[in-house]
Amino acid sequence: MWHQVTKFHHSLSVLRAPEMSGARKTRVFHLLLNSGLYLVGTAVIITTINYTLFKFIWHQPFTGASPFILGLIWLGVWSLFRLSMQNHQRTAIFLFLILLWLPAAYTSLRWGALFYQALIIDALVIVLAGILASTRLALIITAITSIYLISLTFLQQHHFIPVDLAWRNNPEDIYNAITVVATLWVITLVSWLYNHELQHALQQMIQSQRALKKERDSLDQKVKLRTQQLKAAQAEKMMQWQQFVELGRSAAEVFHDIKNPLSSASLNLEQLCETDQIANSTDNKKIQTALHSIRYIGQFITAIQCALGSQTACSRFDPARQIRQALRFLSPKAKTNQVKLLTLRLARCRLHGSPHKFHQVVANLVSNAIDACCDLPPSIKRQVSIDLKQTPHQLILVVQDNGSGILPKDQAHIFTPLFTTKPINRGTGLGLTIVKTTVENDFHGQLTFRTQSKQGTTFTVTFPLAKNHPQNPLGHSITKNHPKNLLNRSSQNPTKTPSKKT
């Protein structure tokens, strides 16, 4: 998980790198333009004042720069700033470099290709191109400037282009030195600004890495804690599951020991009724009531034995019978929770497979439906309906409850092993997982559900039925007049011969 987080952070850093570099260039460029606006604006004001004094007050010729030209330069710098603010920064940078390079080119043409002020401006243009634009543009400008200076030197040397070299014979001027020094300071300032932005970006990256490391450590602690909690919960559930298995084994033995005395008592009572030794009708009714109770207990024990029986034995079985046994097995739980079990219809058909696994599917679905109704207030009638219907190709089992429904956040996890929303003493998180696995793997069927908040949940199990293939493991429908069905019914319901009275 941490590897994925680190990979995502690296990808995000790679994607944001060009954006961060562009932001640094934008800040440096805007700072240069703002500085240029202030400097040129100040020069315009000073030049205008001097021009007014020389021209109109002192009536002397003015030899300085024209205020009009300086005003045009200020307007050009302002236009570049506006162009950059309108998301045309690359165009503004390109025009800015051209406006710097053209005066240097004109100076070299007028006073010689090796005029020091022009060379310094050329160096400034190349440095700005590498910082504000790209190394590629800096190389292109260097190549163009080199070709221009070499060609211009050759032409001026052979007197093809006139050149004014009087500045070489004049003594050095302090103003020229100030101009050169100012240009050098501009180059230094630009380099410092860019390095400052790089250091700022590096500090941000270091802070981001520290925050990411802190988040990683916190995430590791959370993952370890969550893993320990999950292991503890799984261990507790597995212990409960083992207890259930042992309880089932013990219960099977106990029920077997109980059923034998019940069978003996039932047989003795039946024989007592047939001997005509009970003359009193009241005693006869009591014996019949006792027989009914013994038979009910026997049916309940049979249902429990079916639930605890073998899981691998496959045969052709009656699904309706398994449903009745499952409902009989769950009737005490339904009665305790005041839930009414409704049987809408039970289709008469047969399936091939494990009767125990089919019983387990029905029991788990109905048991979950009963649990879903437990949260309803007493004023609402709790009920669970079971419907078994047959189509030409399918057997459809529908279990519906009127409980509170399944929350949307839990619907994607209800078939996940060990996932449960019930208290620890009411659920293990294995019921629906077993149902889904059994339906799909053993019966090649399909399990679906539909739920609505505060209106209940409906589980639908579809079992495929094969046609004209009695031995197909998926099962098949048996009609009422089928010879084998008649044979099964006759074997299951043999005609009782009246016993003779002794």
Exposed / middle / buried, residue 344 (Cβ in 10 Å: 0-12, 13-18, 19+):
exposed
Domain 310-484 has CATH 3.40.50.300: no
Question: Which residue(s) pair with 464 in the sheet?
Answer: 394
Task: Report how far residue 454's alpha carbon sits from residue 452's, in angstroms, rounded to the nearest whole number.
Answer: 6
Q: What is the mean pLDDT of residues 288-297?
A: 70
Q: Is the pLDDT of residue 253 over 70?
A: no
Task: Report how far residue 58's alpha carbon sits from residue 65's, in angstroms, rounded to the nearest whole number.
Answer: 18
Backbone angles phi, psi at 52, to 5 degrees: -65, -40
Of 65-69, 80-84, 178-182, 484-488, highest mean pLDDT:
80-84
The closest alpha carbon to 332, from 359, 361, 368, 370, belongs to 370
pLDDT at residue 455, rounded to an integer: 84
Q: Is the pLDDT of residue 500 over 50?
A: no
The closest alpha carbon to 399, from 388, 413, 414, 410, belongs to 388
Task: Report how far residue 330's alpha carbon sits from residue 326's, in angstroms, rounded to the nearest whole number.
Answer: 6
pLDDT at residue 416, rounded to an integer: 79
3-state secondary structure (DSSP) of residue 495? coil
pLDDT at residue 483, rounded to an integer: 35
Exposed / middle / buried, residue 99 (Cβ in 10 Å: 0-12, 13-18, 19+):
middle
Give pLDDT tens digits for 25-71.
788 788 888 888 888 888 889 889 988 888 888 888 877 678 888 88
Q: Annotate 39-67 with b (16+ C-beta within 10 A) or e (fewer).
A: ebbebbeebeeebeeeeeeeeeeeeeeeb
The closest alpha carbon to 103, from 117, 83, 90, 84, belongs to 117
User: What is the token pair recorded at 221?
Assistant: 């602690």
How does DSSP assign 301-344, residue by residue?
A: HHHHHHHTS-SS--EEE-HHHHHHHHHHHHHHHHHHTTEEEEEE
User: What is the token pair recorded at 365?
Assistant: 């679905």
The closest alpha carbon to 360, from 477, 271, 443, 284, belongs to 443
Task: Report how far residue 298's alpha carbon sits from residue 91's, in angstroms, rounded to the nearest whole number.
Answer: 95
Task: Report how far residue 180's alpha carbon sits from residue 184's, in angstroms, rounded to the nearest whole number.
Answer: 6
pLDDT at residue 462, rounded to an integer: 93
Element spanning 346, H or E:
strand 339-346
Question: Which residue(s) pair with 434 in the sheet?
Answer: none
> From the centroid of its chain, how far is CA 188?
51
> From the centroid of its chain, how far is CA 373?
32
pLDDT at residue 150, rounded to an integer: 92
Element spanning 25, H or E:
helix 2-52
The closest alpha carbon to 126, from 135, 138, 134, 115, belongs to 138
How does DSSP assign 385-403, residue by residue?
A: EEEEEE-SSEEEEEEEE-S
User: What are the boundaries of each domain within the chain?
Assistant: 2-164+173-217, 310-484
Cite the DSSP H helix spans in 112-173: 116-128, 135-157, 166-169
User: What is the token pair recorded at 90?
Assistant: 């690359």
Q: How confident is the model at residue 304 (pLDDT cuts 50, 70, 90)?
A: low
Question: Which residue(s) pair with 447 in the sheet?
Answer: 461
Q: What is the mean pLDDT of residues 173-177?
A: 69
Q: What is the pTM of this model?
A: 0.41
Q: Annotate 250-261 with b (16+ C-beta within 10 A) or e (fewer).
A: eeeeeeeeebee
User: What is the token pair recorded at 287?
Assistant: 């014996």
Q: What is the mean pLDDT of residues 170-179?
A: 70
Amino acid (one-letter) located at 350: R
Q: Is the pLDDT of residue 449 over 80?
A: yes
